[in-house]
Structure 1
Amino acid sequence: MPPSRRIGSGGVTAVAQAGTEGLKGRRKAILGWCLYDWAMSAFNTVIGTFVFSRYFTDAVAGDPAQGTQQWGMALGISGIIVAILSPVVGAIGDRGGRAKPWLAVLTTVCVLATAALYWVRPDAAYIPLALLAMAVASTAFELSYVFYNALLPVAAPPGYAGRVSGWGWGLGYFGGLGSLILCLVLLVQTDAPLFGLIGKEEAEHVRATALLVAVWYALFAIPLFLLAPDRPSVDKPAGRIVREGLAALADTVRHVRSYGNTVRYLIASALWRDGISTITAFGGIMAGSLFGMDTAQIILFAIMLNVAAGTGAVGFAWVDDRFGAKPTLIISILGLMVSATALLLVGTSYWSWAPMLALPLNWTQEQQWLLLFGLVLGIFFGPAQAAARTMVVRISPPGMETELFGLYNLTGRAVGMIGPFAYGAATAYWDSQRAGMSTVLVLFTAGLLLLLTVKEPARRGEAA
């Protein structure tokens, strides 16, 4: 690669020198970095999935179908903005050196926009405020990933990137679970929300979950800024940094054929990540309509799935460092394919041979098998995502870490439209949600086959 693109390599040298301290000397930095995953997971779990999104569609919009469409439109617009800005801010960030200032600004914007959701009352007049606040929060949230992930090689000593990534991703799953339980216990499912300090008029107890998430995010993000190191600063005027960043991105686009290994990996990872996103987006719908699970069962299922995913991310972290990110990803994707296939067969004539389960739950046999294979599926969720970002670190040329994570976001967004579209089209054509969910197997297979052509550098920073 051109020597001019190795700007920021001093940061790599600093990381290597810091790595000589060993894991013991880096524990505070690693803890600070991992806690940011714990912090930001509350937004996805509480706001985006289980609590506030349902509050908007059911109580604010009034019409669940129309509310879902409006909520999806806001997230779609946010996704387009993220796809455009991710590689741009990533390239500029690499030329500016430090990542923490960017991360601090984006974290603050997300926290404030999330807190603003508290003022969204159960009235259609508040739809614009809800959609605007959610779009701003989601955009800042997704862009923060670019700079947070780029700090992985700075926080982790050489040889520990896989473990630190896995620990962070696992902690994120448990953080999302913890924030959800806290919201349910303190606010949503209690007769005296927040020990009687707030009421239930105008759904205040549900709206207050946005404030809890904002405080959670802000509080647990602080350790990263206090404990984790930053990349070396660059003494350049802001205007020059922006010009050089845009020029660097343009150079990458012009010479994209020179980065064939990296491009193949970005597309491959986007495919299996889209498969995972499709499962999480439509899995609850399928569990309810096809297997008759009620809301309480789906929430319990989701909680157990998060525990399994967090455990898998942490458990496979050492495999990543010992054998490499690529072998870890291959094992994870194969595990996803096998368990997803088993899930699709449950309740069909192909499952008549299955023995009776006796789980301590008042669930039907099909629901018990669904839970069992769902937990197996969850175990491979974590490592498939944690090792994916480790691989980005290992294939990133020195000085291009943030730009590569920006492109990682871009490809994820671009390919991310395939899964939901394929699911909907297959479900409509065959009038079967099983057919719709089977499209994730195509995404997993395509991602795996393309991954097999990718070379994982022997050492972090080796040119792709």
Structure 2
Amino acid sequence: MPPVAQNNFLHDAPKGRLVSWALYDLANTIFSAVFLTAYFPLMITEMTGVRWAYGAACTAAMIIAGLLVPFLGALSDHTGKTKQYLFRTTLITIAFMLAAAVLKRPRDLILVFVCGCIFYHASLVFYHTLLPTAAPPGKQGFTSGLGTGLGYLGVVMVLPLTHWAEKHWGTSSVFLFSGFLFFIFSLPLFFRVPERSVPHPQTFRWSFWKEAWLQVFKLIAELKSRPVLLLFLSAHFLTVDALNSLIFWFMVYAREVFHPEKNVLILLLAGVNVAGFLMGLLSGALTDRWGALPVTCLSALMLTATLTALHLLPAFRLFAVFSMTGGAFAIAGTWTAGRKALIELAGDGADLGEYFGLYVLTAKLSVFSTLFFGILADSAGFREALGILLFPATAGLVLFLCAWGLKRKYGQA
């Protein structure tokens, strides 16, 4: 009779890898919630008294991260050291998070924010390319959904603790505590998920930068012969443009339009993340059952409908309800189904990292609405600013539907 430990879920090697990979989603979502959505945006907009500066910082960080993405994807594909680079970018991200706890001047805080965002988004390139290592094809949708769901659940776990820490020791303690949790929950991946195997691994060299960008232009040129993949990446660019703005500005919008107390804002964000956990599991299950592209289309539809409702609704309660239903599914479904859709369309080959690099590149450059939102919020108001997000969201939905239609008709990417 085998030892009991061998029957334990976490000691079963394939399932242990699956859970360990998903737990990193929990870890980095703590950074996303605290730094990108909750405490830092509220703090910096209150300190500066304007919104455009925060929007400009978000845009700058994402563009710089986008310029790095092809190079990072090439590192993953050619060196066979994906986990090593993920570990380094994770530690640097945490270091900038901790720096925000000790700096006081708005200019310094914005600089730390930009640098932290750059390395956070850089780490996602390495993280995404480890998905085929952590889970077999039939479980990748579930694993991606589990990661998305655990990320939201982690935020629900952390927010009450950070709110308590802020009340007793100030906002600086929030960044210190969150950085520590980011590190702790990232450890299972580094211990349990194997390194990504690549054929003929090479040593690091700076020429990867030039080669990576040449490969980007080559991949873009090849997309002419892969219309489904071209439509998918174009739709992803537009949809994530709206999503990025929604994530960056969600808490500031709720504060400025509805004026709730701080603890109510924290409860709202916790509620959205509870819903996100459930929607992550649901979208993962639907992805494995229906396929990635149909769920991606459904997510884009929910995003467009939710933005329309949020733009028009006058009451805070209705705003909260729509955020925790359609909004939660839109965000969770986009990330969950999108990763699986790319693997299905691009194939699990040696160049998967480069395609993921292109996939993340489209997400990083999807930041123009974030800047326009801040400018319009200062000049015309927050409701008017939210309305502009309907344009990229609707266009993304149309292109996703076109991609799905072509895939069903011709069966090729």
**TM-score w.r.t. structure 1 length?**
0.77
Match of 2:19 among 31, 37, 43: 31
CA shift, 1:422, in A, is 6.2
Change (3 A) 1:213 1:451: same
For structure 2, list consecutive stretches of 5 or more residues without a partner in the other structure: 1-10
The aligned counterpart of 1:387 is: 337
**Displacement of 1:438:** 2.9
Does the 8 Å contact 2:306/2:326 carry over to 1?
yes
The reply to whether residue 322 of structure 1 matches residue 289 of structure 2 is yes
Note the C-alpha offset of 1:432: 5.8
* Structure 2 CA distance for partners of 1:28 and 1:241, relative to 1, 3 Å: farther
Q: Answer yes or no: is the 8 Å Cα contact 2:23–2:188 preserved in 1.
A: yes
**Residue 205 of structure 2 is aligned with which of 239, 246, 258?**
239
Pick aligned residue for 2:396 from 443, 447, 451: 447
Which letter maps to 1:412?
A
Task: Choose which of 161, 173, 176 in structure 2 pairs with 1:211.
Answer: 176
Structure 1 distance, partners of 2:207, 2:22, is 29
Equivalent residues, number = 396
In structure 2, how many angstroms separate the alpha carbons of the residues matched to 1:337 and 1:132?
33
Q: 1:318 to 1:271 in 2, by over 3 A?
A: same
Q: Aligned equivalents of 1:72 and 1:343: distance in 2?
A: 20
Match of 1:160, SS? helix
Structure 1 portions without partners, runs of 5+: 1-22, 194-204, 348-365
1:376 maps to 2:325: yes
Hey, what does 1:334 align to over in structure 2?
A: 301
Question: Relative to structure 1, is the Cα distance of residues 438 and 250 closer, same or farther in structure 2, using a 3 angstrom cutoff?
Answer: closer
Aligned with residue 110 of structure 2, among 131, 136, 141: 131
> Which aligned pairs between 1:58-457 and structure 2 lie closer than 5 A?
58=46, 62-65=47-50, 69-121=52-104, 124=105, 127=106, 129-185=108-164, 187-190=165-168, 193=169, 205-233=170-198, 234-239=200-205, 242=208, 245=212, 248-347=215-314, 366-380=315-329, 381-397=331-347, 398-418=349-369, 420-421=371-372, 424-425=375-376, 431=380, 433-455=382-404
Question: SS of the residue aligned with 1:454?
Answer: helix
Q: Say if 1:287 and 1:273 are closer, same or farther in 2 by CA, change over 3 A.
A: same
Partner of residue 50 from structure 1, selected from 13, 16, 38: 38
SS of alignment partner, residue 403 of structure 2: coil
Query: Greater helix share, 1 or 2?
Result: 2
> Percentage identity across aligned positions?
26
Residue range with higher mean Cα deviation, 244-253 or 260-269: 244-253
Paired position in structure 2 for 1:357: none
Secondary structure at the residue paired with 2:138?
A: coil
Amino acid at match of 2:193: A
Contact 1:46 / 1:52 at 8 angstroms: preserved in 2?
Answer: yes
Which deviates more, 86-95 or 130-139? 130-139
Query: Which residue of structure 1 aligns with residue 5 of structure 2?
Result: none
| Superposed CA RMSD | 2.9
Aligned to 1:3: none
Query: CA contact under 8 A between 1:273 and 1:385: conserved in structure 2?
Result: no
- Secondary structure of the residue aligned to 1:236 is coil
Describe the SS at the equivalent of 2:358. helix
Higher alpha-carbon deviation: 311-320 or 331-340 = 331-340
Q: Distance in 2 between matches of 1:251 and 1:336?
A: 32
SS in 1 for 2:137: coil
Return 252-261 or 175-184, whichever deviates more. Answer: 252-261
**What secondary structure, in the 3-state scheme, does the structure 2 residue paired with 1:316 have?**
helix
In structure 2, what residue type is equivalent to 1:389?
Answer: R
| Cα separation, partners in 2 of 1:101 and 1:25, compared to 1, 3 Å | closer
Change (3 A) 1:253 1:367: closer
| Equivalent pair of 1:45/1:177 in contact (CA under 8 Å) | no
Q: Matches of 2:404 and 2:107 in 1, distance apart?
A: 47
Deviation at 1:274, TM superposition (A): 1.9
Partner Cα distance (1:139, 1:281) in 2: 15
Structure 1 residues 258, 427: closer, same or farther in 2, change over 3 A?
farther
How far does residue 320 in structure 1 lie from its aligned partner after superposition? 0.3
- TM-score normalised by structure 2 residue count: 0.85
Q: Secondary structure at the match of 1:189?
A: helix
Cα contact 1:88–1:249 (8 A) shared by 2: no
Match for 2:344: what amino acid?
R
The aligned amino acid for 1:302 is L
Whose Rg is larger?
Answer: 1
Cα distance change of structure 1 residues 24 and 270 upon mapping to structure 2, 3 Å threshold: farther
